[in-house]
Chains A and B, each alone.
Chain A
Amino acid sequence: MALKRDLYKALEDVVGPENISEAPVILNSYAQRGRPRFEAVTLPHTTAEVQAIVRLCNRFGVQFKASSSGWGAYGDAGGPGVVKLDLRRMNRILEINEKNMYVVVEPYVIYAQLQAELMKRGLNCNITGAGSNCSALPLAAHQGIGHLSVSGSYGERNQLALEWVTPEGDIVRAGSLGLIGQWWCGDGPGPSLRGIIRGNVMPLGGLGVYTRAAQKIYHWPGPATFPIEGVSPYYRPGRIPPGFMIRYISFPSPEKLNQAAQKVGESEIGFILMGFNPGMISANIATNNNEDLAYMKQFTDSVQGPGFLIIMAGNSPNDTEYKRKTLQKIMEDFNGKPLEAVEDPENAGGFMWRFIRVTSSIREVARASGIFAGEVGGTDVFYLMHQYILRSAPVKQRYIDEGKLLADGTDPFVQSVEHGHAGHAELLIRFNKQDPESMKVAAEIGRFANKTAVEGHFGVPGHVWGDAAHDQYGPHTSDYHLWLRKFKKTFDPKGASESTNYITADD
């Protein structure tokens, strides 16, 4: 279904002929295999252009969907009749305010770029766990929880002021931006519109377009540039900067891990705390899949149970020493055992930088088979999130035993947020996407995950999106789906913002 010519012409007038295309070869690349194609792809450069596109879509009764780095499948069209806004021409860092610890970006700044610029100034940012190849807009990622979240929080809570082109094409500048034109507060006057534009997950394209946003940034005690040497893929620092330390610690049981993670949180020593399992550690360090399998066996044999990776970064020698000693005590108190391969000087620096720059999530999720799935918990107290995913471990094991999934262990991947005040957990599965039985497993694990969350009272997981899922959870969860639907209808009366992965206004 091609766009009406007058709509196409009007869009062309907005962005210029070179910045809109309906050529099949272009449309093809914006859709995952087998998914519907967009009717046209636009490349707006300014908020005004975004607004104009949105208004035109409303006027002509077509839908629109924006994305930045476009990795997630939820950036796809849900069906025909959708115009894509690819925001890659909106790619500037607008402000870095060191004294007041915030930064303002457009959607197609990626986190690697932002972190690099911040590090030069002794600052840092939380990077979404999917990787620093993703958008640095705190509103772009599905959740925005990242490796640094134990000390650097995550998208929902790092968010300050934002500029939002609503589904109807109004521009709302939330917080201090609207009232006084400054970026450092996203809330007020009065109630905060941040409450509508996201929860612990994003509307995934279904509630308009976020064109600029400010976020909190954090202190960086390391060097202006990390001393990385070597040639791809063998990058490692020539030396580990002073004050930095990395350990992978396994515990005899999930309970001991929880307790240790709690104490790490309460003593505020973690810079990065990630409950990776051996499968993820091996994928992280390995430079190819064969190596991955070898490391996986080595690490699995070397750990005593579930574990976490911790990186500490001291702001001073005193701070470094306190953190080191405290971690040692916590390890002793909870029978933690270090995985020597991680702190081996040959490997430590490389691990450290891959986690700080978040470059190897792709290795962890995609290198094996190009696809991954599983369960994504929400954010809630650490213990609950851990327990939720643990429920699925036997299910995963069964499918591994049946040969339908990659045998990469069943330990959940857990994260600490804000020094243990919250947590997040996921179950990752990898499989051959050509194998229809494996694809069925992915769906089955999803169904089990939802059943567990509802019946086990584990909250609303992060992988819940779309009408069917919201309708499944809502009745058990304060009927939130009805409210969400009302807000969708109120802010998007024409249903112009494509919201297959959010919620539609259809009752």
Chain B
Amino acid sequence: MALEDYRSDMEMCCRCSICKFVPLEKLKEMRHSYVCPSIARYNYHTYSGGGRMGMGIAMLEKELEYDARLLDVVYNCQMCGACDISCKYAMDMEVLEPINEIRIKCVEDGHTVPALDKVINSLRKQGTMIAGSKDERGRWSEGLDVKDIAAQKAKVVYHAGCRVCYDEDAWQAARASVKLLKKAGVDVAIAGKNESCCGGRAYQMGYREDFLNQAKKNMELIKKSGAEILVTGCADCYHAFKVLYDKFDLKGDLEVLHVTEYLARLIAGGRLKPTRKVNIEVTYHDPCHLGRLGEPYIHWEGKPVPGHIRIFDPPKEFRRGTYGVYEPPRDVLRSVPGLKLVEMDRIKEYAWCCGAGGGVKETNPDFAAWTAAERIAEAESTGAGAIVTACPGCERNLKDAVRENGSTLRVYDIVELLEKAI
């Protein structure tokens, strides 16, 4: 697909602005009513989902040049998909897809930003989008008694992801994930230093070819391993394997699960028994790529039906965030004795982004921090002492914000809390 393929979607935008807000049926009060960090921060309509639709058309019509402001608009977006979901409450049109295609077009036309080029160089050279060397990739699993996918066959492969591999703060959750899976009798292996980036964030940044290279490489490794299930604790990786690889017909029959999905199944099946009390009041942050963007990809090929209403032959089903992964993480939390879960105002399909996505943490750390600070404040407003999530990328950005703002909120990964209960 290319941006041109989304022309008629972009033309459907009527400038109603619901892309800026949480679904209006759900809006409970004045604060926490915005869902798009970009418009909330930068104010010009251009920064909203709707503004980007108009921008895309103008780019196709060559009415806009690649100047600093255009790139500022393009890259100051976490690709969180909230605009897409809010829009699709009422409209039958793609929003996030053309926004992504705008980025791809920018890269193809040679207009990128240095910070992202740096990240992609690291990907190309070291197989990681978080700074670090290939050789160090497996350090997080040192001492972990687990199969090596390169040497042994296993039914399940645990994909750690770049953030885990190169951020020591994220090791505990990853290690705990593997231990819990093993404890539950799961035949699990890891790729260790042979693991390579899923490529998902590269795609979000617009580097489609790099993404495809990574995808092909990873699927080769997985096929060779014979693994039937891939499980990961990172939402970006989850989205990459489950949705993007499928989109490009690379996933095959591989079942992709987030670790919380797998753990929820194991708990429900009695194979893991959380019995130890963990007295804590938490609020849960839905990672964008696990929640609203985590629902399966829908393959569709067809044509618009001529007429005065936008329908297709065959009928096109839009991904509207309805089937994202919302309950399994909550089920895991609810299974922990003594744990009290209180919800924020912006949750599930209309959760506020942590701020890190889409390359923003690299291109504009201030914006990433601002977005996270908003989320921290929202978490604090629930009265909970901790915010828990299911993605190391979210955890990193939220932890950074907690530190910068002097908050006393603790940040956990779900698995860390579950581990305490078992």
Residues of A whose CB lies within 8 Å of any CB of B are: 19, 21, 23-26, 28-30, 32-33, 41, 43, 69-71, 86, 88-89, 93, 109-110, 112-113, 116-117, 120, 131-133, 225-226, 228, 231-235, 287-290, 292-293, 353-354, 357, 359-360, 362-363, 365-371, 405-406, 430-433, 435, 438
Contact = CB atoms under 8 A, between A and B. Distances in A.
A457 to B, nearest CB: 33
A145 to B, nearest CB: 18
Contacts of B64: 24-25, 28
11 contacts: A24-B64, A33-B11, A112-B21, A116-B33, A235-B23, A362-B91, A366-B12, A366-B16, A367-B90, A368-B308, A369-B308
A432 B308 contact: yes
B26 A228 contact: yes
Contacts of A435: 308
A-B CB proximity, top 6 nearest: A23-B69, A406-B308, A370-B12, A362-B90, A29-B46, A29-B51
Contact of A29 (B27, B54, B93): B54
A41 B44 contact: yes
Contacts of B1: none
A85 to B, nearest CB: 12
Nearest to A28: B58
Contacts of A438: 308
Contact of A116 (B16, B30, B308, B350): B30
Contacts of B91: 362-363, 366-367
A335 to B, nearest CB: 32
Interface in B1-53: 11-18, 21, 23-30, 33, 43-46, 50-51
Contact of A133 (B16, B58, B73): B16
Contacts of A33: 11, 54, 57
Given A29-B45, A367-B92, A432-B308, A357 B25 contact: yes
A30 B54 CA distance: 9
B70 to A, nearest CB: 4
Given A24-B64, A25-B70, A370-B310, A235 B25 contact: yes
A70 B12 contact: no
Contacts of A362: 14, 16, 18, 90-91
B383 interface: no
A369 B57 CA distance: 17
Contact of A117 (B23, B29, B54, B317): B29
A41 B25 CA distance: 31
A290 B17 CA distance: 24
A33 B23 CA distance: 26
B85 interface: yes
Given A28-B63, A28-B64, A232-B23, A368 B310 contact: yes
B25 A353 contact: yes
B310 A30 contact: no
B311 A290 contact: yes
Contacts of A357: 24-25, 27
Nearest to B11: A370
A225 B28 contact: yes
Nearest to B309: A368
Contacts of A19: 43
A25 B46 contact: yes
A43 B14 contact: no
A116 B67 contact: no
Contacts of B261: none
Interface string B355-377: 00000000000000000000000
Contact of A228 (B21, B25, B73, B324): B25
